[in-house]
A and B are shown apart, each in its own frame.
Chain A
Amino acid sequence: MENYFYLIVILPLAGFAVNILFGKRINSEKFSGIFSSLTVFISFIISILALTEILNLPESSRIIYIDYLEWINAGSISLSFRFLVDPLSVIMILIVTGVGFLIHIYSIGYMHNDENYHIFFAYMNLFIFAMLILLLADNFVLLFLGWEGVGLCSYLLIGFWYEKKFTGDAAKKAFVVNRIGDFGFMIAMFLIFINFNTLNISDFNGILSTGNFNINQPLLITIALLFFAGATGKSAQIPLFVWLPDAMAGPTPVSALIHAATMVTAGVYLVARNSILYVLAPDATFIILMVAVLTAIITASIAIRQNDIKKILAYSTISQLGFMFIALGNFAFAVAIFHLMTHSFFKALLFLGSGSVIHSMNDEQDITKMGGLKSKMKITYLTFIIGALAISGIPPLSGFFSKDEILYKTMTEYGSLIYIIALLTAGLTAFYMFRLVALTFNGQPRYDTEKVHPHESPAVITIPLIILAALSAIGGFIGLPHYLGLPNLFGNFLKPVFEKSLALRNSYSPEMVHPVSLELILVVLSVIVAVIAIIFAYKKFSGKSEFPESKGFAKVLENKYYVDEFYDKTVVNPVLKSSEVFFWKIFDIKIIDGFVNLFSGTFLRLADSWRKFQSGVIQDYTTATVIGIVIVILYLLFK
């Protein structure tokens, strides 16, 4: 396997290099788009090969390590480019290269006629490269390389249309906010190295599963929370979620690939990859649950009052990521990954669908200025409906299976209160999605029909939509709930990865057996909530044409709870102000440098006063000499 597997990362990297170095000279959209998509396609094929290799192994030993180059050797640190291929990473690379390939194809059409077409594809390829490194790395530092690499690509692609004023701000915000999380990630690495003398992921997990650790050791809680701090950055959870809505400044395929389907799930992957750590530190895991529940409900509530089609989807993404962390918080690691997968299908679909709409509306993103697009863009409409139903949890679409399993785990692990919040969030999700659908596709046009002529997008855009719609529709069947009595392929495949963690969890908190009826009741309940929310939203917004200014709490929601303003007031501005006014202009210039100048000035003044002795008059010198001699003589006489 190692004789070809490296190509999975090398090819996208080559796609990047060729496009960035020679793209301009080749000057062919066809070449850039197809070459770049092809590299991702081959990576996808390699992922499938990896899947078959893994499946050929006996279940208990489905793990392959591949060592390539050495990387950093210093003292007792020894790191290499070492890949870890197991069911978890295989699923992840299949999602990234599969969905990634579809979005590359879509971009061929979407980015048509862009001045920097080749650079766009270069960055997209670089992203695939970095994301695969992140997922395959077997040491934390290499994972961090991928982690930072995807952050860089996110930065580059958010700011892709650099001539617009706000893209630069959004891009920088994304990078800097992520770096705040990375601070936690780095400290976690240091703690692991100092205490376990390794930075290798499998070694670290191996040490943790020896059984020599008590539950909730402070050290493990600290490491767990620091990694989660990194995850709140990358996966946009409270308190660091603020960068993701702004990130919508980038081209829509970027939002679909990076800011919905793949990169933002890296935090989920990180926690799942270290599942044993979180099982050993249930207090930390509980904090994850709390943060996730809050994030999910708060951002879903923001989404119901947004009018920018991409912003709604961005808040929806944060909320759905919250759902994945809720699953992790309930130790349902495989379920989190399952939702990660179905979400990547339907959210990529929704973003690409919104891109198709935006494109045909001449870059309009405000859904209050749309309406009636149903008849004009049939494929976009139908696929979008499938995506919206999937995220709302309508059976038998994919989102239904993954979300219901999360809701069920929430109920059985921590009981009704958190369950009710999660259920409410699910209801809000259905509501804001169908508000979006109703305002965009139903009713009468609210745009200038003279100037804007919406039309269906070309096949290069609609075909990826159709494929993603199919995946969103049937993707859930590989993870069937056990009450149906059929095998859960997805869960079984991931089982060996989380086996030890779950056994450990069982040893100190045995799983209770619940009647199937409970699960069925919950399913019915959540479907009822979703259906009611959908009907309500459809009725309310389908014919709406007036959009009065919002008041009261609605205004707070519209302004996203003023979180950005709060951060500006409490962190950003004080740091900038104090740095400029105090640290620089007073402390550095007046005090430190003032002291330096005073010091040298004193020498000048001293020298100046001594210069008076050098009068140049012979008599003065003679006098001084005589006085000196007298002093010496007196000293010798009386000493």
Chain B
Amino acid sequence: MSNILSILIFFPIILSLPLIFFKKENTLLIKSYALGISLITFLLSVVLYFEFDVTSGDFQFIEITEWVKVINSNYYVGIDGISLLLILLTTFIIPLCVFASWNTINTRMKEFYFLFLVMEGSLIGVFSSLDLILFYVFWEFILIPMYFIIGIWGGEDRIYATIKFFLYTLAGSVLLLIGIIWVGFLCSPVQGQFTSDLNHIMKMSVLLPLNKQIILFILFTLGFLIKVPLFPFHTWLPDAHVQAPTAGSVVLAALLLKMGTYGLIRFSLTLFPAAFVKLTPYIAILAVIGIVYGGLLSIVQKDMKKLVAYSSVSHLGFVVLGTFALTVEAVQGSVIQMVNHGLSTGALFLIVGMIYERRHTKEISEFGGLRKVMPVLAGIFLLISLSSIGLPGLNGFIGEFLILVGSFGSQNLGSNLYTILATTAVILSAVYLLWLFQRVMLGPLEKEENKKLKDISKFELLSIIPILIFVIWIGVQPNTFLKVSENSVKKIITNFELSKDKMHFEEVKD
């Protein structure tokens, strides 16, 4: 299976096409088919996991095929441990989204599942592209299915939200494209020719003079930061989440946002080390502001989805801080935090979706005392909230702790003030999530319309129990996952140190 990566990327994309020819009325077939494809994709990715050699930090399963010859772009894919974890997260989340949509998406079903499968393949493509143009194609392509998912199956203000989402992230992407083109010309092994091969570019780009690196870094990073989203580029996120259907929110939070944080590690960090160092303080400040600010805003939200959206701003601030701390512990923390955020926030959106399906409102004040009628859902809600709060023994703590402890002594950050401020999030997250839980689930069950609500169904359990398993697994035995990315992270940091030394050497020579 030397081309297992390509199979993973194109299996869901190509096999999404037959959906178009299914009969619209045959809903069960459509759903089962989509579920089947996504489950097979998951199994394929499990094979990938077992074939992967964790003792190496190098790219594996590499495939190169000539693609667009005029610009020397190749179809060039390969993964390291970081990519692998995110691919596993992707193939794990998508079947759960199918479960979550099973009884809730009843219009244009064919199109819905078609878009989901296309998105799945593209996401795997993003996480495995080693050619910048190929990366860019997948990166941009994902906007389209997401645009339609919010725009067609979304809430009342879906058009405003989806256009905002589309244009905002597109603006970032355009800058990314300019950056790719420029760096492709600057760093080509053959003078005057273009290249988009990550390996070629990396060798040269680390040697670029600081001012050029800084411009390129900004062109690349701005696009990533909008996607993350980092404060102050986050305002598209609450709007998009509030309008998106449940499965859309899950994919958006769990997977799409990770493209941004992934991009930071894979490109911003590895390609432009000097600029990375130079601009660290600015981005770290934004990350810390985002952590605290996102927490404060979460506290005062009245809409459940908005609350979770703002909490994402806070949680992803951690990932950015860890990346820029640039110690093995902190970057490892960032990688596992990406997975954790995908699981916990994904699950939170699933839960909010379940409550929404029952009452058709997301206003927190409409609820209270639901635990009386839905004890199991309440228990799951609490467990997930605790995971998001970072309770030791559950997944969230592992990422948060590694990021904080790894960034505390970080030379690149240069001050532990960032970490100290970020640590206040342990207080804020307890406030907003426990308060949310209290207002929805605890207290007297007063509202008439809430008294007859049903507890979580067996079917809904299917979409959330897999997440619970990993919430506990990662909390108790994180090494299963930490070891997957450990050597890749070490390699990235070693390369970084080497190129920094080279930079100094070049400076001296000049």
Residues of A in contact with B (beta carbons under 8 Å apart): 20, 69-77, 141, 144-145, 148-149, 152, 155, 159, 162-165, 167-169, 171-172, 175-176, 179-180, 182-183, 186-187, 189-191, 193-194, 575-576, 579-580, 583-584, 588, 592-593, 596, 600
State which of B232, B236, B332, B427 has its C-beta within 8 Å of the C-beta of A180.
Answer: B427
The reply to whether A579 and B299 contact each other, CB–CB distance below 8 Å, is: yes
Q: Which of B405, B444, B486 is close to A165, meaning CB atoms less than 8 Å apart?
A: B444
A193 and B404 alpha carbons, distance in the complex (Å) = 11
Residues of B within 8 A of A575 (CB): 296, 299
Cross-chain contact A145 with B392 (CB below 8 angstroms): yes
Q: Given the known A-B contacts A148-B391, A186-B423, A193-B408, are A172 and B297 also in contact in the complex, defined by CB atoms under 8 Å?
A: no
Asked if residues A172 and B393 are in contact (CB atoms below 8 Å), the reply is no
The docked-state distance in angstroms from the alpha carbon of A157 to that of B332 is 35
Contact A579 B372 (CB under 8 A): no
Would you give the shortest CB distance from B157 to chain A, in whole angstroms?
14
Q: Which residues of A contact B405 (CB under 8 A)?
A: 77, 189-190, 193
Could you say which of A20, A75, A155, A179 contacts B329, with CB atoms under 8 Å apart?
A75
Q: How far is the CA of A576 from the CA of B379 in the complex (A)?
A: 27
**Option from B164, B402, B444, B486 in Cβ contact (under 8 Å) with A163:** B444
Do residues B393 and A583 form an inter-chain contact, with CB atoms below 8 A? Answer: no
Is A165 in contact with B300, judged by CB distance below 8 angstroms?
A: no
10 tightest Cβ-Cβ pairs between the two chains A and B = A75-B328, A145-B392, A194-B409, A580-B300, A190-B408, A168-B442, A75-B329, A593-B235, A579-B296, A74-B332
Instruction: Tell me how many residues of B have a C-beta within 8 Å of chain A.
Output: 58
* Minimal beta-carbon separation of B175 from chain A (angstroms): 14
A-B contact pairs, 28 of them (CB 8 A): A71-B478, A72-B398, A72-B402, A72-B479, A74-B332, A75-B328, A149-B393, A152-B386, A152-B391, A162-B369, A162-B443, A163-B445, A165-B443, A168-B443, A172-B435, A179-B426, A179-B427, A182-B426, A183-B426, A186-B423, A186-B426, A190-B416, A579-B297, A583-B293, A584-B300, A584-B301, A588-B235, A592-B232
Q: A186-B401, A186-B404, A576-B300 are in contact. List 7 more A-B contacts (CB 8 A).
A: A71-B478, A145-B392, A180-B427, A183-B427, A191-B408, A193-B408, A580-B300
Chain B nearest CB: distance from A423 CB in Å?
Answer: 38
Within 8 A of A (CB), among B379-413: 379, 386, 391-393, 398, 401-402, 404-406, 408-409
CA distance A191 to B408 in the complex (A): 8
Quick one: closest A residue to B298, CB to CB? A579
Which of chain A's residues have a CB closer than 8 A to the CB of B423?
183, 186-187
How far is it, in angstroms, between the C-alpha of A579 and the C-alpha of B443 when the chains are bound? 25
Query: What residues on A are CB-neighbors of B406 within 8 Å?
Result: 74-75
Q: Which residues of B contact A163 (CB under 8 A)?
A: 369, 372, 442-445
Q: Inside 8 A of B297's CB, which chain A residues have their CB?
A: 579, 583-584, 588
Are B483's CB and A73's CB within 8 A?
yes
- The minimal Cβ–Cβ distance linking A637 to chain B, given in whole angstroms, is 32
Bound together, the chains give a CA A76 to CA B328 distance in angstroms of: 8
User: Which residues of the partner chain B approach A588 to less than 8 Å between Cβ atoms?
Assistant: 235, 297
Q: Is B482 an interface residue (CB 8 A)?
A: yes
Assuming the contacts A159-B442, A575-B296, asked whether A74 and B486 have C-beta atoms less than 8 A apart, the reply is yes
Report Cα–Cα, A20/B380, bound state, in Å: 12
Which A residue sits closest to B391, measured CB to CB?
A: A148
Which residue of A169, A172, A186, A596 is within 8 Å of B168 (Cβ)? A596
Distance in Å: Cβ of B442 to nearest Cβ of chain A: 4
Chain B hits for A69, CB < 8 A: 477
B107 to chain A minimum Cβ distance, whole angstroms, is: 29
Chain B residue with Cβ nearest A580: B300
Q: Which residue of B lies closest to A178 (CB)?
A: B430
Distance A101 CA – B71 CA, assembled complex (angstroms): 75
Judge if B279 is at the interface, Cβ distance under 8 Å: no
B438 pairs with A72, CB closer than 8 A: no
Which B-chain residue is minimally distant from A589 (CB atoms)? B235
Q: How far is the CA of A197 from the CA of B372 in the complex (A)?
A: 48
User: Which residues from A are CB-within-8-Å of B232?
Assistant: 592
Contact of B167 among A73, A75, A187, A600 (CB under 8 A): A600
CB contacts (< 8 Å) of B401 on chain A: these are 72, 141, 186
Convert B39-58 into 0s and 1s, putting 1 for each residue whose CB lies closer than 8 angstroms to a CB of A: 00000000000000000000
State A20–B378 Cα separation when bound (angstroms): 13
Instruction: Give chain B residues whose Cβ lies under 8 Å from the Cβ of A183.
Output: 423-424, 426-427
Given contacts A148-B392, A152-B391, A193-B408, contact A74 B482 (CB under 8 A): yes
Which of B392, B398, B402, B424 gathers the greatest number of chain A CB atoms within 10 Å?
B392
Are B443 and A144 in touch, CB under 8 angstroms? no
**B340 proximity list for chain A (CB < 8 A):** none
Q: Across the two chains, which residue of chain B brings its CB closest to A592? A: B232
A69 to B475, CA, bound (A): 13
Contacts of B379 in A (CB 8 A): 20
Instruction: Determine whether the beta carbon of A168 is less than 8 Å from that of B438.
Output: yes
Known: A187-B420, A588-B235. A73 touches B479 (CB 8 A): yes
State how many angstroms separate the Cβ of B495 from the closest Cβ of chain A. Answer: 16
Question: Is residue B181 contacting chain A, with contact meaning CB distance below 8 A?
Answer: no
Closest to B372 in A: A163
A169 cross-chain contacts in B, Cβ below 8 A: 438
Bound complex: CA A583 to CA B314 (Å): 14
B252 to chain A, nearest CB (A): 18
| Residues of B with C-beta under 8 A to A186 | 401, 404, 423, 426
Q: List chain A residues, Cβ under 8 A from B426.
A: 179, 182-183, 186
Return chain A residues, CB-CB under 8 Å to B386.
152
Does B333 touch A at the CB level, under 8 Å?
Answer: yes
Q: Which residues of A contact B352 (CB under 8 A)?
A: none
Residues in A with CB closer than 8 Å to B7 are none
Shortest Cβ distance from A71 into chain B, in angstroms? 7
B408 engages A194 (CB within 8 Å): yes
Cα A5 to Cα B41 with chains together (Å): 44
User: In this complex, what residue of B is CB-closest to A585?
Assistant: B300
Q: What is the CA–CA distance of A58 and B266 in the complex, to the nearest angstrom?
A: 57
CA distance A341 to B272 in the complex (A): 60
Complex interface: chain A residues within 8 A of B329 (CB) = 74-77
Q: Taking the nearest CB of chain A, how far is it from the CB of B455, in angstroms?
A: 12
Residues of B within 8 A of A145 (CB): 392-393
B285 close to A (CB within 8 Å): no
Contact A73 B482 (CB under 8 A): yes
CB distance from B296 to the nearest CB of A (A): 4
Which residues of chain B are near A75, meaning CB under 8 Å? 327-329, 332, 406
What residues of B have a CB within 8 angstroms of the CB of A583 in the complex?
293, 296-297
B31 adjacent to chain A (CB < 8 Å): no
Q: Which residues of A contact B293 (CB under 8 A)?
A: 583
- The smallest C-beta distance from A20 to any residue of chain B, in angstroms, reads 8
Taking CB atoms, residues of chain A closer than 8 Å to B482 are: 72-74
Question: With a CB–CB cut-off of 8 A, which chain B residues contact A592?
Answer: 232, 234-235
In angstroms, Cα B431 to Cα A596, docked, is 29
Interface centre among B234, B296, B441, B444 (most CB of A within 10 A): B296
CA distance A175 to B431 in the complex (A): 9
B434: Cβ under 8 A from any A Cβ: yes
* Complex Cα spacing A592 to B420, Å: 26
Residues of A within 8 A of B483 (CB): 73
Is B419 an interface residue when CB atoms closer than 8 A count as contact? yes
Contacts of B441 in A (CB 8 A): 162
Cβ < 8 Å to A, chain B residues 335-377: 369, 371-372
Chain A's nearest CB lies how many Å from the CB of B383? 10
CB distance from B199 to the nearest CB of A (A): 26
> How far does the alpha carbon of A191 sit from the alpha carbon of B419 in the complex, in Å?
11
Measured in the bound complex, the distance between the Cα atoms of B121 and A308 in whole Å is: 63
Is the beta-carbon distance between B167 and A179 smaller than 8 angstroms?
no
A190 and B404 alpha carbons, distance in the complex (Å): 8
Q: Which residue of B lies closest to A147 (CB)?
A: B392
Determine whether the beta carbon of B328 is less than 8 Å from that of A74: yes
Chain B nearest CB from A591 CB (Å) reads 9
Give Cα A598 to B409, complex, Å: 41
Residues from chain A with a CB closer than 8 A to the CB of B234 are 592
**What is the bound-complex CA distance between A576 and B434, given in angstroms?**
15
Cβ of A71: which chain B residues have Cβ within 8 Å of it? 476-479
Chain B residue at smallest Cβ distance from A115: B372
